[in-house]
Amino acid sequence: MVAVNDIVAAKLAPRLRELTFADYERIAALGSRYGLEIEGHKEWAHLWADNPVFQETPNWPMGWVFENEDHEIVGHIANIPLLYELGGQRLIVAASRAVVVDAGYRSYSFQLMNQFFRQKQVDLYLATTVNAQAVKAYEVFRAARVPTGTWDQTAFWITNYRGFSASLLAIKEIRGTWGLSYPLSAGLFLRDTLAGRLTKARCGDGEPSFCTDFDDRFEEFWHELRRNFPHLLLANRSRQALEWHFKHPLGSDRAWVLTVNKGTRLAAYAIFFRRDSASFRLKRMRLVDFQTLDGNAELLLPLLCHALARCRREGIHMLEAIGFPPDKQRVIDSLSPNWRKLESWLYFYKPANHQVGETLKDPQVWDPSCYDGDASL
């Protein structure tokens, strides 16, 4: 995402160079000036140091920074390597992350984007957290909107009415939020009851269970998923990839993995990721991925219901889902969610060659989710 703020215009052009591990403190300082939540150094470095694609791709740049005459970092874009598959072809994907530019250096922003989009060893570029300030920049570089899923709205269910109401009032900057949260939460509860959002939270078929790590079942599942859906653009979901992607969230209980078995084999799973807003004291869980081997999207229903029940037990204020394709979205819609409009379309892509580009114009090739790009990194 891009954050900008009006500050004193730069007197000298900043120096553009590649990002290094030693830049963390100054990048964190830049992000904090714009209210961006920056993870700790260990989790940040993990994006490359333990990334299996980074380790296998020589000379991959971690990203780029602008450095001014005072050796401050005044611009930044991270460059995360990911592995995808399409039609049996292995694709190297570059995912942009945490684009931040001081407004005094805003005129140089396109140089950062140009560095990202001019890479030679990339088959596909993805950006899955594009905010309103960044949309124009991605469009200038002819990045297209993903052709399926709704990426400018989020479906959500309230799972703690009192906490959600207090957060909503805080967002609107209304004083005395805790006292006012009582009548507001009662009104929201009544509205959801009348809309059937509570009574429709049925569990359907299947017996879901939570697991705390990715065992051998996930490796077998990935190989079968590839065989069953060779026509889809699939992010690598091998056991190794999942362990890297969710290592720190799982270790700190910020990610949940729910599974449904068929006998001893894994039939479907869903992954949920904590996306709190500290500034508004909002506790939020997000559905970031759902996969099933036989294409039966109805298996998402019991997984969602179990996650909703856990959110209620643990006092999490809401659960949301963004951008799923029509078959999965129909299951989400069957639970009558609320909807919230986002300020921009989040998911853009740009193919590096014509053949991949022509294939990706077909909405049926896509199975997008917040597992893609940097949306859950």
Q: Based on the domain organization, do 6 and 103 belong to the same domain?
A: yes
Q: Based on the domain organization, do 103 and 161 belong to the same domain?
A: no
Residue 181: predicted pLDDT: 42
Q: Based on the domain organization, do 140 and 218 belong to the same domain?
A: no
Q: Based on the domain organization, do 245 and 195 belong to the same domain?
A: yes
Nearest to 253 by CA among 283, 239, 274, 269: 274
| Averaged pLDDT for residues 110-120 | 96
Express each pLDDT in 45-74 by its tens digit.
999 999 999 999 999 999 999 999 999 999
116-125, 184-193, 278-287, range with greatest mean pLDDT = 116-125
Indicate the pLDDT class of residue 7, thresholds 50, 70 and 90: very low
CB 117 within 8 A of CB 109: no
Residue 155: predicted pLDDT: 96
Burial 334-354 (b: 16+ CB within 10 A, else e): ebbbbeeeeeebbbbbbbbee
Nearest to 78 by CA among 94, 64, 92, 93: 64
Residue 279: predicted pLDDT: 80
Residue 245: predicted pLDDT: 98
Q: Is the pLDDT of residue 191 over 60?
A: no
Distance CA 158, CA 280 (A): 16
pTM of the model: 0.90
- φ, ψ for residue 339 (rounded to 5)? -130, 140
H or E segment to which residue 343 belongs: none
Distance CA 268, CA 255 (A): 17
Lowest-confidence range among 10-24, 173-187, 205-219?
Answer: 173-187
Domain, as residue range, for 160: 153-341
Cα→Cα distances 228→135, 154, 240, 330, Å:
35, 29, 20, 22
Nearest to 344 by CA among 168, 155, 153: 153
Residue 84 DSSP label:
E
Choosing from 145, 162, 182, the residue where a domain stops is 145
CATH number at residue 214: 3.40.630.30
Q: Based on the domain organization, do 140 and 206 belong to the same domain?
A: no
Indicate the pLDDT class of residue 274, thresholds 50, 70 and 90: very high
The answer to whether residue 349 is domain-embedded is no
CB 225 within 8 A of CB 293: yes
Helix axes of 41-49 and 24-32: crossing angle, nearest 10 degrees: 120
Q: Is the pLDDT of residue 196 over 80?
A: no
Q: Based on the domain organization, do 310 and 227 belong to the same domain?
A: yes
Lowest-confidence range among 27-41, 218-232, 323-337?
Answer: 27-41
Distance CA 244, CA 53 (A): 10
Q: Is the pLDDT of residue 204 over 60?
A: no
| Averaged pLDDT for residues 120-127 | 97
Indicate the pLDDT class of residue 189, thresholds 50, 70 and 90: very low
3-state secondary structure of 222: helix
DSSP-based helix, strand, coil % in the chain, nearest 5: 35, 25, 35
Express each pLDDT in 151-180 by its tens digit.
999 999 999 988 888 888 776 654 444 444
The answer to whether residue 353 is domain-embedded is no
Q: Based on the domain organization, do 128 and 226 belong to the same domain?
A: no
The answer to whether residue 292 is domain-embedded is yes
Q: Based on the domain organization, do 100 and 157 belong to the same domain?
A: no
What mean pLDDT value characterizes the chain? 89
